[in-house]
Every structure is written in C-alpha cells, then in structure tokens.
Structure 1
C-alpha cells in the first residue's frame, strides 16, 4: 500500500471474516461484533464471531492439517516457519497499523509487536530440526529406555486484546514448532492482526487449516475449551476468565497453561540512577500501553532517602508524556480499550480517593477537548498508598500506579511479595550484590533489573501464584506444547 504508516487504513481493507481451512468465512450462526476504535469511539468494522459450529469446523480442519504438518520432514517444517518469519518481517508496517486499529496502541510502539512475533517464529523454527528426546539406563536391565516428546495434536490458543501479536510469537510459534496445529481465538476487541497473521501462514506455504483464526467472545471460547479434539489450551488474560476456562477444561481433563495478570512491584533503591529509574518507572507504569499490560509496574516502592528526588523526576516525566492520536508517531500514550474499561478505571480512582487509600497527586480524570470522543484517561499517580488496600492489591489494568515508601531491603521485599500476584518484579540499583540477593527473594516469575520487561525468545516467561501456570518462551515454552512418552525395548 502507498498509505503513510501514520495514517489509518480504509475500513473496507480490515480483515473481518473467520479464517478456517484456508478460507475467509462468515459465522455459521450469523453472529457479528461491531468493533469500536478506542481513539474516537466510532465503529471500525463489523467482525464475524465464531460460534460452536465454527469452532468445531476449525478444530476438525486443524486436526487434518496437523497430520500433514507432522508428516513433513523436520527440515521442511523448519524452512516453512522461516518463510513465515520472513513474511511477518515484510508485513511489519501493515501489521503495525492493524495493531493500532485493534486496540489503539501508539504507532510509535506498534510495529515492535510484529518484530517481536517474528523473532519468536524464527527462534522456534531453529528448534524444529534440533529437538530431541533422551535415553537413560534402566536398573538391572539392558533394555533401551527412550524418553520422547510428541505434539498434543490441536492446540487452542486464546489471545488477549492487549497484545495479540506478542501471544502469537509466544504461543502459536512454539505450538507449531512442537508439531501441533493451532486454533487461534483472538478477542473480539483485537481481531485484525491475528486474522492477517493467519493469511501470512497461508502465504508462507503452510497447510490450510494449520492455523485457523476464529475471533469470538465467551461462547466461542467455551466451545473451544470444551471441544474433545483439543489437546491443550494456552490462555493469556485475566484471572476471572481463567477460572471459567479451567472449569470448562475439566470436562475433558484438557491441560491448560495460563499467563495471567500482575500487580508488579518496582523497587527503587537509594543507589539507583534516578533519571533512568524515573524514566523506567513512568514507561513501565502508567504510560506504556496506558498501563494496559500484565507487566505493568503498578506498585512503585521507593527508598525513603531518595523519595523526594525520585518523585520530582518521575512526576515530571509522567506529566510531560504526549497523549493523543495513536497514529501520530510523536504520541506515547493512547486511550484505554473501551467505554466499559474507562468507567471501571474511573470507579477505581474515585473509590481510592473517597476511601482514602492514598493521596492523588496527578491525573485521575478523563480527557476532554479534541480527545473527548475517545477513551483517554490522564496518567494517574497515588502516593502513600496502603499496600493492603484494593488500590494496591487489585489489578487496575489502566494508567494508574501506587507509590509506597520503604526503609530497607527487608521491608521492600516484604511489601513486594505481599500480593496474590507474581508475574514480574523490577529492581533499580547499581549494587550487583543487592541486585542478585533481592531478585532471588522476590516471588515473581521474571525479575528485571535496571530495565523494562523486554521479552526475548530465549527466555521463559510466566508467573508465580495467581499470575499463571506454565511458561512461554525459551525451551521451556516449547516443552509446554509437547507431551512426554516413554518407550522401553527389551533386549535379549
């Protein structure tokens, strides 16, 4: 296309049909969803919504394609995945713009999601012809004892609206490399990039049906989880939905891996580089994706001796962040996803003010003027927050952060760990001994020291406690999509 990267796509070019067995299709039930663009509150497109009949067709198509996929030599599967990575790279500009249409992530960051997906696809392609099992001796026998890893068959990947391309990299790429076919169920709030990705799979030469893309809401999600043809479910999203999925999966005892929410602590010690620490806390907190990230460092813990200096720098960065049209490449902060999210976040802010959970020092309002039609909220900061309050304990999933003080390492660690979540933690310090020691005492699946949560294909990602089970990324992520078989051969 000749359209500028900072220009919205024409509505009639947005992909809206279900992608099943290589074809774009309408929903068998006639169900559709009017997608609203968060930046202006107006309809983007009408998207087909998968029901139980569509899910069944997608699973059956995937099962047939998986049999073909696993019959290919490892070298052929590897090369096809490399071709897919090349296709994603060539399509980065379009994927980036579709990502903005999906959930209004600023174009400044949006193409990075496509680049990350490409990295994961390329990484997992490299594992296909290197995957191996093992052999161990058996006590008192001369038997051959083999431990093999095999695919589940058809995997259901349920992606969230706030990062579908990232989950495609973390989940879909690993599932394909492990030998599975995938039924990808994106949220109805972010269907466009997943549907485009499904087309890229076909363009790269993968078997039709190997990756089916079926946007849907709760009905389609339940049908997918309950389908007897699904070997495993990988879910990224919130805890409430995870409970529903786990209950539905119990019907067929389908295994489920989850990457759930977070209430991540960011520990800023007195010896930290305060300019860097303030910048990281601002972006990893209320600014990046408007706080709509499971990795959001929404609890910022600051050592008393540098509290005032840190807050001066931190608030200056938060208040200076450009907010507005996500297609403007100068914009850092876009809107939240919907009117319902806007109402929920404002209710959280009002409740915190009314019940005295902390002191509101900046933000707390919906933006008006030329942004009034969109779902824009001011980046919001509460100080002196009680760590036992709902403001500090419940995931806000918006541009709202809580600031707390601490005196020493033990107090900081106690505050950080006093939560039901455990996805990420952040440490700002120039003391290497402290960095290692504190990281090992934090109950979190990932600890980021002097940096943001920059995912890499080589590293496993996942949570402790209520933040999920299993891992995505790295060799651990590949193994999530494989089941172990033991083969023992008697020797004369």
Structure 2
C-alpha cells in the first residue's frame, strides 16, 4: 500500500525537558512502527530514570515561576497556547495519523485539546476557595485550594491529545507544572505540544514531555518530587502504577478500560441506532477505545431488523490508507495486538459462545503489510463469555438480545467495568429511568461518546476513579487547605 508517509522524512523525537529536546538518553532509542504499513517511520529517544529526574527538577523550578504570575497572566498564556494549537491544527492532525494510524477523517484529538485549554483557562483567574463561619466564634475561617506542584500525567497511545487537554490543561490552570509521559507507540503529537508550550510563552519546563517505557513510567510515578499522578490505560498497568505510587503515598487518578453496553429499545430509530452502534463499536479507532460500545444489547422484538442494519453499516465502512479522507476504518496498533484480537475471535468460534455474523479475519491484499483486521460482529453472544466480559480493545463487538427493560439493565450492569453506557430510545421517560439505573460514569442517550470540557468523565467499578473535565476535573489538581485566623 502506498501512503503519504512513503515520501515523508522520518520522524524524530526525544524527551523535551526545560524547553530543550534531548538527542541522547540513558535508555537509547525506539523505532516507531507505522501500523498501516508495518514499517519504521520514526526514531524516538527513550527517557529513563535519569531523564525523569531532570524533567521533575525542571518542572519544579518552572512551577515556582508559574505560580508567581498574576492569575490573569496565567489565564492569558493558556489562551495563547490554545490559539497556537488552533493554528497548528493541520500539523497535529498529521502527527496523530503518524502516531497510531487513526484515519485522518476521525483525527479530532487536537480539536479537543484546544477546547479543553480554552475552557480551563477561564478557571485560572476564578476563585477556588471560600470562607465559612465557625460555630460560636468570630474567627475568620478560610478554605483554600492550592496546586500540588508537579503532576505526572501518563497518556495512552490512542488519545495522547485528549489526555493532554483533559489533564494537562486543568493542571496548568490550577497552578501546577506537568511531566507528560506519552506512549512510545504514539509520541510525536505530544512532543509537538511540548514545543508549542514554550513557543506560546509558558515558562520553559512547565510542560516536560518524556516518552518512556514501563521502567520510565515507574520512575515517574514513584518520584518523590511528583505530587499527583493521572493515569489513563488498562487495569493491569494501573495496578503497577498504584503499587509504585504507594511508595510515597502519591494520590492517583485512574481512567481505565470499559466493556460498555449499548441498549437498543424497540422504539429507537433503528437506522440511526445502527449507524451509531457501528461507529461507537468496531469502527471508531478500530474499536481501540475505552469508550467503545462492544456489547450491543437489543430488544428481541427488533433484534433481527436492527442486526441486519448494524452489519450492513459495518460492512459499508471504507477501509484503507489512514491519510485518505474517505477512509473511516484503519489498522490496529501493532502485530501483537492483531494476534491477540484474532485469538479472542478464534476462541469465541471454537467455544460456540457466539455466531460470527461478519468479519473475523485479517485483511490482505494491498493492506496485508499493515495490521488491518476486519470489523467483526458476533450474534447471540453469551454475556458470561470471554468476548462479553473481557475488554478486547479491537474491532470486535457482541450482539446480545434482551426481553424487557429490567433484563437489559441487568445485562448491562453484569460486568466489572463501568466507564460508559449508551441508550437508544425515543421515550424520554425511559431515557431518564434507565440512565439512572446503569452503573457507569457516563451515559449517552441517542449519541456517541462526545467528550466535552464541561462534562466530568470517569468510571465506576474497575473502570477507575477520579474525573477529568468540568469543575471536578479541575479539583483533581488542587489540594484543600483550611486557614483559621483567631479574632478574639
């Protein structure tokens, strides 16, 4: 397959610390593979414990300078950064495609970054505390919110710009500095953001970017100079993060995986519901999203009609070169991911826990060198099966029938996860009633998971704890202090 990267110069990236790009690191280099071709398209210098130390020290110095600025100056600089992101949008879009081969038609992560920056910039000069009366006293009692100092943000490969917006933006607005650790699988857009922070006038070192492997991540989490950690990723990695953070009792926010249910009721607009389920299920980022609705629960009275429309919508999706603006479905992130996902499909078929309705194979031909899998749907899936209970993180979804509303809610909640849930109905009363019974941090009625700066986002159960977005997201990066001044 010929792609836009064939004639492009190789990408290069190294840790960005104190406004300077490192050309050598203690951990050597990593060759970045472009998932659409399986070929190297860049080299990254890997940060180790030495570079983490440098990044934290640089961030600590920059944070002291940042917090000394008047609040309105910090606000204006964050708005300047949002303007710079807006002007750099075409470059960010290309880098997102280079990072993990998300189709350019869906590469909107930098748009969300800009929105989060503008939203949280508005909080930089707003009051974060309050005063309260103290019973039986004329004392002045102040409740203040102060920055932690240096925050460590660990971003996943499938959404570094979204995490930069939803975590870095409020951390800066709250007065912190940030050490951002992007995945080695997708480092380039995050590194460009680090450069842009300095170009926009933020103190050098206020946002340091350190591409690192698991050892570098552990060094960041257990560093005594890091006072708050925000982690986005899988539950297994989260356990390691929490263990490392426990060394210094560092507080952690964790946004983890999901096995989200999409409930389709008989009064839903089936055409719209099928298109939404296709996009929110296997199509969006090739199913590699914590927000993926990988369990589609359908009322038995419309099951067959919906499933026919759903499969047709999936089979109509354009697959190919991620730089082609007509393409909506790209590859998975790596050869290991492709083999893991195919293993889930093969076991589901062998166990008879679902009927293969479409897909199930690797895509060959002109796409054979990349990591392309067919978008896959299983029908009649047992909700207790591996496919229904384990986060596949790939373009594989289950269709499960339900008999009534209570049955649908029971199936939806019968999971260890609780990040998102989706409801398709034209009955407003049902929408309210069902949404309140679903065990999920976000419920989306008749729409996709349209994350916005105004809405708090996070999970129930093993989908994590803490929130990004809204006032809740800002408060994650502020610690509370009580000051009482005696007046007697």
Query: What is the TM-score when the length of structure 2 is the normalising length?
Result: 0.98
- Confirm whether residue 435 of structure 1 aligns to residue 431 of structure 2: yes
- Confirm whether residue 92 of structure 1 aligns to residue 128 of structure 2: no
Residue of 152, 167, 171 corresponding to 1:171: 167
How many residues align? The count is: 486
Query: What secondary structure does 1:190 align onto?
Result: coil
Query: What secondary structure does 2:302 align onto?
Result: helix
5 Å matches for 1:104-143?
104-110=101-107, 112-143=108-139
Aligned to 2:354: 358
RMSD: 1.0
Whether contact under 8 Å (1:81, 1:125) holds in the other structure is yes
Residue of 21, 24, 34 corresponding to 2:21: 24
Query: C-alpha displacement at 1:11, in angstroms?
Result: 5.1
**CA separation of 1:13/1:487 partners in 2, compared to 1, >3 Å: closer, same or farther?**
farther
Query: What secondary structure does 1:127 align onto?
Result: coil
Whether contact under 8 Å (1:153, 1:180) holds in the other structure is yes
Aligned to 1:3: none
Which range moved further: 273-282 or 20-29? 20-29
**CA separation of 1:296/1:97 partners in 2, compared to 1, >3 Å: closer, same or farther?**
same
Structure 1 alignment gaps of length 5 or more:
1-5
Aligned to 1:61: 58
Query: C-alpha displacement at 1:13, in angstroms?
Result: 6.2
Query: What secondary structure does 1:478 align onto?
Result: helix
Query: What secondary structure does 2:42 align onto?
Result: strand
Runs in 1 of length 4+ with deviation above 2 angstroms? Answer: 6-15
Whether contact under 8 Å (2:12, 2:43) holds in the other structure is no
**CA separation of 1:460/1:83 partners in 2, compared to 1, >3 Å: closer, same or farther?**
same
Aligned to 2:42: 45
Query: What secondary structure does 2:196 align onto?
Result: helix
**Over residues 312-356 of structure 1, what are the superposed CA-to-partner deviations in whole Å (9 max), with x where a residue is unaligned?**
111110011011100000000000000000010000100111111
Whether contact under 8 Å (1:15, 1:195) holds in the other structure is no
5 Å matches for 1:260-339?
260-339=256-335
Query: C-alpha displacement at 1:489, in angstroms?
Result: 0.6
Whether contact under 8 Å (2:381, 2:388) holds in the other structure is yes
Aligned-partner Cα distance in 2 for 1:237–1:320: 31
Residue of 74, 77, 94 corresponding to 1:77: 74
- Confirm whether residue 452 of structure 1 aligns to residue 463 of structure 2: no
Aligned-partner Cα distance in 1 for 2:5–2:38: 14
Query: What secondary structure does 1:60 align onto?
Result: helix
**Over residues 131-189 of structure 1, what are the superposed CA-to-partner deviations in whole Å (9 max), with x where a residue is unaligned?**
32011111111111110000000000000000111000011101101100000000000
Aligned-partner Cα distance in 2 for 1:316–1:340: 29
Query: What is the TM-score when the length of structure 1 is the normalising length?
Result: 0.98
Aligned-partner Cα distance in 2 for 1:126–1:406: 45
Structure 2 alignment gaps of length 5 or more:
none
Whether contact under 8 Å (1:65, 1:207) holds in the other structure is yes
Aligned to 1:214: 210
